Structure 1
Amino acid sequence: MTATGSAELRDVYEHQYSAEGADAERYGAWRALCAEGKADHVAALAAALADRPRTLVEVGCGDGGLLEALAARRLADSLHGFDISERAVQIARGRPAIERVERFDGASLPAADGAYDLGVLSHVLEHVSDPMPLLRETARVCRAVVVEVPLEDNRSASRPAAQRGREAIGHLHRFSRADVHRLTCGAGLQVIGELADPLPLRVHRFWAGGPAARMKASGKAALRRALFTVAPAEAERAFTVHYAALLVPRP
């Protein structure tokens, strides 16, 4: 995403959000499944805040699936969203739990300083050519920010097939946990809570096309969960986990 948002990235998501028939159902089911885990992560980290957030905004909210999942958890009283995709904004506006959704240019948020108690950047920064300005802009309008990214600086994600897969969905960065910490510091923020997740079985099995593929996905999920449980640092070097952090301004 450039300062005004990447046309290529918009095209990727406009295609998904404009899909019809079986494709629309499949993409929608995938986004809804992922939203549940992401919402659990946001809720777990937000519990560390001194006060329950009254206002929450998701920057890069897509079709609003995560915001709807957060509404079901009663995480905040007022939920807003911004996205670069016009079609995604249209879909998100159809969710009654979301108070307001607007399209933005990928750089500047139409909100005042400190307008929100909590901001969410979930699986957004890996799509942005220079993530620092967007993180700073989100922190400008939010008193605290939850960031989640896939940690793809690992052996599994270095495989050519994995690299092609990342490029197809617009991933421009292979973050490590240390990369996120450096980005946080550069934006004038500090980490006050963090978690990592090797992803549940249902996520690994979603795209498996038959019994053999589902069995393979189940075995992979079990192996990754076991390694992550006993040696999380080694797990992050071996395969992709999703990492989320709660950020606040440095004193």
Structure 2
Amino acid sequence: MASIHIADRCLCCGGEQLSAFPAVLMPFVAHRALGWQPVRIAEDWQMAHLQTGIAYSVCNTLYCRDCHFVFLDMRFDGEAMANLYRDYRGDEYVALRDHYEPGYAQRNAGLLDGMGYVDKVEDFIGGVAPGIATVLDYGGDTGINSPFRHRAEVFVYDISGCEVVDGARRLSRDELRRGAYDLIVLSNVLEHDPDPERLLREVCRYMDGGTHLYLEVPAEQLFMRFGEGMDAARNKHHWHEHINFFTRPSLQRLLARCGLAALASATLVIDEARPNLQVVGVLCRLVGGGAGNG
């Protein structure tokens, strides 16, 4: 049975100076990952100390006072993650999400066409690391957004099991090889993962001195509005699939803990019509060009 554990320290810097603020786990995530459905508290329940209405799954927003990382206190186990991301954006996924979030099915149709800023990612990476010939897109879904797909050999590793697009080849975990890739891409994955340090160390296993890692996370609008401090955490009232909100200091601390050095970073606009939709991209290498962390 899928389960959770509650985080008691920062997942980026390891600090224990955490502040907690009450929040709600969105019903789609609670239902698909954990089998928890909302319940309506009716008058005929005759509950003396509960108000009538819909009860959702409660949680906490955690804030690290050391590196300003903002994150969901619930950490999903492997079964919960498999439930949530199985056949990602497939028919069953879309139907359940559209039930809780009417209009999602229409929005999803646009997502399947891919993101329009991949050329910006390629320009950013190519400006620092030209001549990319082999790419591993770790957590790359179908490969639709994999950089250099039309000019390099691109491999995709992803737990969703979705078919990959033309120009990419899916790999199983057993097929992954250390040092076989000029570039490893970890794009829009860390914000979903219950243990980002473990994931990043896993990716480092497939790097050697010649490998670049391109890491990308959302530039959260929460931080644009409230800044990268406690006010942001205090105003984070709900959690969806993105269970980690990275500030720049928290990302720097996470990279350092995993033996990675940032070579360059950039904030990229996803959609020119909506300039507040941005991502933060960081190009890294192993410190000293050494072996990856096990």
Q: Which runs of structure 2 are paired with 1:155-170 in the superposition (5 Å)? A: 156=225, 158=232, 163-164=237-238, 167-168=239-240, 170=241
Q: CA deviation at 1:200?
A: 2.5
Q: CA deviation at 1:71?
A: 1.9
Partner of 2:250: 179
* Structure number having the greater strand percentage: 2
8 Å CA contact retained: 1:16, 1:24: no
Q: CA deviation at 1:198?
A: 4.2
Q: CA deviation at 1:4?
A: 7.2
Q: Secondary structure at the match of 2:148?
A: helix
Partner of 2:171: 102
Partner of 1:85: 160
Q: CA deviation at 1:70?
A: 2.9
Distance in 1 separating the partners of 2:264 and 2:81: 33
Partner of 2:131: 52
Distance change (3 Å), C-alpha of 1:3 and 1:58: farther
- Residue 16 of structure 1 is aligned with which of 89, 102, 107? 89
Q: Secondary structure at the match of 2:245?
A: coil
Q: Secondary structure at the match of 2:254?
A: helix
* Structure number having the greater helix percentage: 1
Query: Which amino acid in the other structure matches residue 160 of structure 2?
Result: S
8 Å CA contact retained: 2:117, 2:269: no
1:214-250 CA distance string (max 9 Å, x none): xxxxxxx4xx5xxxxxxxxxxxxxxx74100100011
Distance in 2 separating the partners of 1:11 and 1:70: 29
Q: Which runs of structure 2 are paired with 1:134-213 in the superposition (5 Å)? A: 134-142=199-207, 143-152=211-220, 154=223, 156=225, 158=232, 163-164=237-238, 167-168=239-240, 170-202=241-273, 204=274
8 Å CA contact retained: 1:156, 1:162: no
Partner of 2:31: none
TM-score of the aligned structures, taking structure 2 as reference length: 0.57
Q: CA deviation at 1:139?
A: 2.3
Distance change (3 Å), C-alpha of 1:163 and 1:80: farther
1:96-123 CA distance string (max 9 Å, x none): 211x21355xxxx642221211000000
8 Å CA contact retained: 2:120, 2:268: no
8 Å CA contact retained: 1:17, 1:63: no
* 1:29 aligned onto 2:110: yes
Distance change (3 Å), C-alpha of 1:44 and 1:15: closer
Partner of 2:282: 245
In structure 2, the gaps of 5 or more residues are 5-74, 96-102, 227-231, 289-294
1:160-183 CA distance string (max 9 Å, x none): 99653xx22x11111111111111
Q: CA deviation at 1:44?
A: 1.6
1:7-62 CA distance string (max 9 Å, x none): 34643563522348x9766424224342x31452244223312x512110101111
8 Å CA contact retained: 2:265, 2:283: yes
TM-score of the aligned structures, taking structure 1 as reference length: 0.66
Distance in 2 separating the partners of 1:199 and 1:123: 12
Query: Which amino acid in the other structure matches residue 137 of structure 1?
Result: E
Distance change (3 Å), C-alpha of 1:80 and 1:12: closer
1:174-220 CA distance string (max 9 Å, x none): 11111111111111010101100244334x3xxxxxxxxxxxxxxxx
Partner of 2:148: 70
The number of aligned residues is: 197
* 1:118 aligned onto 2:183: yes
8 Å CA contact retained: 1:192, 1:245: yes
Partner of 1:127: 192
Partner of 1:227: none
Q: Secondary structure at the match of 2:216?
A: strand
CA-atom RMSD, angstroms? 3.2
